[in-house]
Amino acid sequence: MIHDGKENFGGYLEDFVPGDIYKHWPGKTVTEADNHLFSLITMNSSPLHIDEAYMAKHQHGQILVVGPLVISLLVGMSVRDTSGKAIANLEYEKITHDAPVFQGDTIYGESEILETRESRSRPDRGIVYMESRAFNQDGIKVVTLRRRFLVPKRP
């Protein structure tokens, strides 16, 4: 038998149970190159993210990783376990930066299913509502976000 990995990529509506927590692995160590490239391709030229000399005199004393990069890492690492079969992402909400992230930090994530429901207009799909949390290598929570995505029901 050949297994191509598609069946285990994400889940169907019936697979998600409120209260379940998915631990996303592996983590990702954020490099200086990651941070600078993300900052520059998104046109975020704040010295907080790209200027070591400026940040040496700042309260943090070092460059901060640009927040949307951490958000993107968290969402990305959740896809295999949760939204890999998604038809669409519907909403992101309640995004909080809980602690700073620095170059060299390793980000890990987890997602908790908060609610599921069938689509009101399409009987072959439903909506999953979950909260995802990112932690650094020391277990400090650095980002929290909630999102809704549309997934198919089992065929």
The CATH code of the domain that includes 104 is: 3.10.129.10
Q: For residue 23, is it within any domain?
A: yes
Q: For residue 5, is it within any domain?
A: no
18: Cβ contacts below 8 Å, ≥ 6 apart:
113, 114, 115, 116
Nearest to 154, CA basis, from 13, 17, 20, 9: 13
Q: For residue 47, is it within any domain?
A: no
Q: What is the pLDDT of residues 56-77, one digit of tens each?
A: 999 999 999 999 999 999 999 9
d(CA 154, CA 31): 40
Q: For residue 44, is it within any domain?
A: no
Q: For residue 42, is it within any domain?
A: no
Into how many domains does the chain fold? Answer: 1
Q: What is the pLDDT of residues 139-155, one digit of tens each?
A: 999 999 999 999 999 98
Q: What is the 3-state secondary structure (H, E, C) of 131-154?
A: EEEEECCCCCEEEEEEEEEEEECC
Q: Cα 124–151–141 angle (5° rounding)?
A: 155
* Residue 110 structural domain: 19-29+66-152
Across 19-34, average pLDDT: 96
Is the pTM value of this prediction over 0.85?
Answer: yes
